[in-house]
Amino acid sequence: MKSFDIPVFYRSPVISKIKNYRKISDPRKKDYSPTVLDFGPVIFYIARHFGFCYGVENAIEISYKAVEENPDKRIFLLSEMIHNPDVNNDLISRGVKFIMETSGKQLIDWDELNSKDIVIVPAFGTTLEIENKLSQKGIDPLKYNTTCPFVEKVWNRAESLGKTGYTIILHGKYKHEETRATFSHSKENAHTLIVRDIDETKILGDFILEKISLEEFNTFFKDRLSVGFNPLINLEKIGVVNQTTMLASETQAIADYLKNIMEQKYGTENLKNHFADTRDTLCYATHDNQRATYGLLELPADLAIVVGGYNSSNTSHIVELCEEHLPTYFISSADKILDCKTISHYDFHNHKFNVTENFLPEKNPVKIILTSGASCPDSIVDEVLQKILSFYKNTKPIDQVLSSLNLN
C-alpha cells in the first residue's frame, strides 16, 4: 500500500512505533488482538488498528501540498477536511479558510470566490452541484481533491448498479457530508433512498411487503428520496451501499434484512434479479478498526479511552462498541484529562460534556483500553498515554516496555 508524506508532528515516538511493528509482523491483518504495554501499576491495551487510515493520510498529504504549492493564493476548504480539530486548526493556522460548516451552513459566500482561488475538496467528497458551482467560477474542483478512494468506490458501485436498473439504498446519516455527497452522485444514475438504521430499514421492508401504505412511506421518507422516486416501481430491484464510516456490522445487517425481504417478495429462485450483493463497498479501514475494537474487548479491562473529534462518525461508533462493556471516555486530547482523578468527556448521544471524578480506579494494576478514530493523529493518542503514565509512580521506562516487545 502507498505510503504518504504527512507532517512529522502527526507521528509519535510510542504509538507510531507500535503500529509500524504490527504492520510488519502481521501484514495480512490476521491478528486483531491488541498490543499490551505493561508499565507495572498501569497496563494499556493498544488496538491493532486505529488512527489515520489510507483516505485520511491521502487527504492530509494533498492538503499540505496545496498550501506549499500556492503561497501567494487564497486557499479554501469546502468544509472540515477530516473530523479532527487539531488537523483542521493547523490548516487554519496556515491561512486555509472554510467555506462551509460540516452541516452545510455557508460561512463564505460563493460570490467571494474567483478563478484564482484554490479550493480543497475534503476526504468525504462533495456534491456534483458544488463541483459544478466551482467549475462555473473557473476553479478546478479536482486539482486538490482529497476524496477518499473508498468513498469514490461506493459512488462507482452505485453508478454501475443504477445503469442496470437497480435502486440504491444508502445507509448513512442524512446530514453527514459524505452521505450528502454520495446521495448527489448516486442519484445521477439511480433512484436513491437514504436509511439511517435498521429501524428505518424495517419501515422500508414493511412497504415492500405491502404492510404499510404509500402515504405512510412518503410521509416517512419524503426528505430522503431522489427526485422522481416512485416506490411502487423503484423498489423492485435494490442494492445497499453505505456512508463508509458507519458500523460495518450494521450495514451488513441492513443488507441481510433487505435481502430476506426481497426473497419473501419474489422468491429464492428470483432473488438475484431483485437484490444486488454490495459487500465489496464496505470500507476496509472502518472494518479493521471495528474488528480491532472487538479484539480489545476480549481482554478484561477497567475502562476505555477513545480519542478523536466529537463530530467523527467512525469514532462515535468505536465509543458505542466500548461503552456496551465498560466505562468509556470519549476525549479529543490529553487536555481533557484534567488531573489524576478528573476527566472531561463527550456524551455524543446527548451532545454534551460530562465531568467524571475518580475515573481511574484505585487498584494495581489499572488496565486501560486505548484507541482512536480514523482521523486522529498518533501524536494525540501518545500524549494521552503519557499523561496517564505521569499519574503513577514507579512505572517501567517506556524504552524498557518497548524493548520487551522488540519495538525499540
From 57, 177, 178, 250, the catalytic residue: 178
Neighbour-count burial of 195, counting CB atoms closer than 10 A to its CB (0-12 exposed, 13-18 middle, 19+ buried):
buried
Neighbour-count burial of 28, counting CB atoms closer than 10 A to its CB (0-12 exposed, 13-18 middle, 19+ buried):
exposed
Upstream peptide bond of 300 is cis (omega within 30 degrees of 0): no
Written as nine digits, the cell of 37 is 504495554
Please give the DSSP secondary-structure letter assigned to residue 391: T
Residue 178 a catalytic site member: yes
> What does 97-151 look like in DSSP terms, one character per residue?
EESB-TTS-BSS-GGG--TT-EEEBPTT---HHHHHHHHHTT--TTTTB---HHH
Query: Is 52 within 8 Å of 378 (Cβ atoms)?
Result: yes
Written as nine digits, the cell of 185 is 452522485
> What does 144-206 look like in DSSP terms, one character per residue?
TB---HHHHHHHHHHHHHHHTTPEEEEES-TTSHHHHHHHHHHTTTS-EEEE-SHHHHHHHHH
Which residues are identified as catalytic? 178
